[in-house]
Amino acid sequence: MSSKSPLYAAIDLGSNSFHMLVVREVEDAIRTIAKVKRKVRLADGLDDNLMLSHEAMVRGWQCLSLFAEQLQDVPAENVRIVGTATLRLAKNVDVFIEQAEQILQNKINIISGLEEAETIYYGVAQTSCGEGNRLVIDIGGASTELVIGKSAEALLLNSLDMGCVTWLKHYFKDQALTHDNFDAAINAAKAKLKPIGQEYLSLGWQTCLGASGTVQSLQNILKAQGLSEQVTLDKLLELKQQSIDCGNINALELQGLSSERLAVFPSGLAILIAIFEFFEIDAMTLAGGALREGLIYSMLGESKYPGVQERTLRSLISRYQLDQKQAIHVRSTASLLYQTLVSEAQQDEICLTMLTSAATLYEIGLCIEYKKAPQHAAYIIDNIDLPGYTPAQKQLLATLLFNQRGKLQLDMFSQQNAIEVEQAVQLCRLLRLAIILCMRRNKGSIPELDLKQQGDTLSLTLPNGWLESHALRAAELMQEIEYQEKAGLLLRVTESN
């Protein structure tokens, strides 16, 4: 590190909002200590001659005066401040930058669209998991970044001159939410996509991630409306219709949509619909980070932070002083149970990841006390950052930990939307069995076993004589049979002949 200070700051001077992120490096992990965001709507102040109005500049300077105080605690070499689409376009940008740098007492860099896209992808790669090629979509106020990357490397990137603020000005300036306005906005976005489309389709991707405000708003809406976290074209078209039914932006009311996103949501939605239709995207989930996280991790260096989910788990093991050997013991046992139960063709990567993550962290609640450790574990997971896990996966992980022992509360699993309820209940049952089997805390104490499921009946077969030789674990398994029976589930524990 170039500085002994563990504090780092990234500021994004966006076309819609200005954001400041301040983090502290703790135990080889990043802990957010401050997030400040202000709606500046810089793009609103850009006229047809690409001159930025004085009023827009003043809004920006007033926001930066709030950021300046916090920056005094961070060494200049640990600060990155970037300007994006509107500041790239503004012909009088020097006027704004000169005053802004005096306020912040730090250098501001106006980055190109391609630099912005690459930094966004880096932030996504360092905070979100996924195998193979990933398509990353970031709809900003005046530009939209599209990147295909693999692991931490961006393979194909573009920054297009369209955003939720500029599309609002061009296609919803009368404030009307009509089919005609939406169609015009969608078709205009597709026209922007057409020159680059074939290259993206030829390279292809396995997963799609969305970053920043529009997608975050979508996540909030889907959750509030009781839908799964995956964004699909059908869901987008339904939200388009709900918006049209409201008739006007001033009358827009969508369950889960915050008041500060009301004005720019329809235009961002139109752009996203265009992208989904043009590229025939099946589903998209929310990324864990974007531009600001990319700036932070670029200062820290990639080599220190490989494997986002493993990094998160490792950090939690260290922070909460978990028994790492026992965590590995339960994790490998849970994985064994899953792979024994589910045929290779039917195994789901997300399910296995969620099971092994819960198994790794099952003792995290012990840092508070033993009796209510499962509840404490769920509370901790609910209330900390988990880079690499989506909000829905975080909720599922908390639910699994809450139900790791004792009375089963199956109704909790219908409140998560990361995976199907039946899958989540299955993972819970496997986690509970893994914890019981690993009570000895001895890696060699797990017997050869067989596990099968038919409907709600789970059948565990152990070696002949094992139950008599392991009285405590046998008693716990008998108790587990009762817990599952009370929840309407059947667990059978037998011995082989």
Q: DSSP strand E in 143-226: where?
A: 144-150, 153-160, 207-211
pLDDT of 120 strictly over 50: yes
Hey, which residues does 183 pair with through a beta bridge? none
Residues 30 and 124 in one domain: no
Question: CB–CB of 490/497 below 8 Å?
Answer: no
Report if residue 186 sits inside a domain. yes
**H or E segment and range at residue 437:** helix 421-437
If pLDDT is split at 50, 70 and 90, which confidence band does 3 have? Answer: very low
Same domain, 244 and 276: yes
pLDDT at 307: 67
DSSP count for the chain of H helices, then E strands:
18, 13
User: At residue 383, what is the residue type?
Assistant: N
Q: Is residue 475 part of a domain?
A: no
Residue 152 lies in a domain: yes
Tokens of 404: 């790791």
Nearest to 71 by CA among 155, 8, 12, 128: 8
Phi, psi of 331 (to 5 degrees): -60, -50
- Give yes or no: residues 407 and 284 share one domain: no
Where is 244: in which H helix or E strand?
helix 233-246
The total number of residues shown for the chain amounts to 497
Report H helices in 320-420.
324-341, 349-361, 373-382, 391-402
Tokens 């235009």 locate to 267
Tokens describing residue 265: 């949501």
For residue 1, pLDDT over 50 is answered with: no
Flag whether pLDDT at 381 surpasses 70.
yes
- 91 and 210 in a single domain? The answer is no
Least confident range of 115-124, 155-164, 385-394, 396-405? 385-394
For 191-203, the pLDDT digits (tens) are 999 999 999 999 9
Question: Mapping DSSP to helix (H, G, I), strand (E, B) and coil, where does residue 61 land?
Answer: helix
Residue 391 lies in domain: 308-445
Q: Mean pLDDT for the chain?
A: 91
Q: Which two tokens stand for residue 117?
A: 């896209």
Question: What is the signed CA dihedral for 248, 249, 254, 258, rounded to 10 degrees?
Answer: -160
Asked whether residue 120 falls in the same domain as residue 34, the answer is no
How much helix, strand and coil, in percent to the nearest 5, is found in the chain?
A: 55, 20, 30
Between CA 93 and CA 110 the distance in angstroms is: 9
Mean pLDDT of 77-103: 95
CATH number at residue 375: 1.10.3210.10
Q: Give the pLDDT band of residue 329 (cuts 50, 70, 90).
A: very high
Q: Are 121 and 113 in contact (CB under 8 A)?
A: no
Return the closest-CA partner of residue 359 out of 428, 450, 452, 445. Answer: 428
Question: Is-contact 485 493, C-beta < 8 A?
Answer: no
Inform me whether the pLDDT recorded for 89 exceeds 50: yes
Q: Which of 260, 289, 318 is the last residue of a domain?
A: 289
183 shares a domain with 80: no
Per-residue pLDDT of 266-281, as tens digits, reads 999 999 999 999 999 9
Between 261 and 377, the more confident residue is 377
Strands, sheet with 490-495, edge to edge from the N-terminal-most edge strand: 450-454, 457-462, 490-495
CA–CA separation, 387 and 305 (whole Å):
12
281 in the same domain as 226: yes
Cross-sheet strand order for the sheet of 17-26: 29-39, 17-26, 7-13, 79-83, 109-110
> With 50 as the cut, is the pLDDT of residue 314 above it?
yes
Residues 147 and 203 in one domain: yes
Residues 265 and 168 reside in one and the same domain: yes
Residue 88: inside a domain, yes or no?
yes
Q: Is residue 149 part of a domain?
A: yes
Q: Is the pLDDT of residue 29 over 80?
A: no
- In whole angstroms, give the CA distance from residue 60 to residue 108: 13
Residues 437 and 320 in one domain: yes
Question: pLDDT for 207-221, tens place per residue?
Answer: 999 988 889 899 889
Number of Cβ within a 10 Å radius of residue 72: 7
Segment 166-177 shows an average pLDDT of 94
The Cα 110–Cα 120 span in angstroms is 15
d(CA 8, CA 87): 24
User: How many whole angstroms separate alpha carbon 408 and alpha carbon 400?
Assistant: 10
The answer to whether 377 and 365 are in contact (CB under 8 A) is yes
Q: What is the CATH number of the domain that holds 51?
A: 3.30.420.40
Q: What is the pLDDT of residue 349?
A: 84
Q: Do 126 and 262 share a domain, yes or no?
A: yes
Which CATH number do you get for residue 167?
Answer: 3.30.420.150
Residue 248: strand, helix, or coil = strand
Same domain, 69 and 165: no
DSSP labels for 103-118?
Answer: HHTS--EE--HHHHHH
412-453 residue pLDDT tens: 998 887 888 999 999 999 999 999 999 988 777 888 999 999
Out of 58, 76, 111, a domain closes at 111
Give the integer Cα–Cα distance in Å for 428 and 404: 7
Q: Which region among 14-28, 165-179, 358-372 has the lowest average model confidence (pLDDT)?
A: 14-28
pLDDT of residue 417: 77
pLDDT classification of 28: cutoffs 50, 70, 90: low
Q: How far apart are CA 276 and CA 80, in angstroms?
A: 33
Query: What are the pLDDT digits (tens) for 221-277?
Result: 998 888 888 899 999 999 999 999 999 999 999 999 988 889 999 999 999 999 999
Q: Are strands 79-83 and 7-13 parallel, antiparallel or unpaired?
A: parallel
**Lowest-confidence segment of 160-164, 316-320, 370-374, 416-420 by average pLDDT:** 416-420
The answer to whether residue 496 sits within a structural domain is: no
The pLDDT of residue 71 is above 60: yes
State the sign of the Cα–Cα–Cα–Cα dihedral 232, 236, 241, 246: positive
* Higher-confidence position of 131 and 224: 224
How many distinct structural domains can be found in the chain? Answer: 3
Residue 258 lies in a domain: yes
Residue 141 lies in a domain: yes
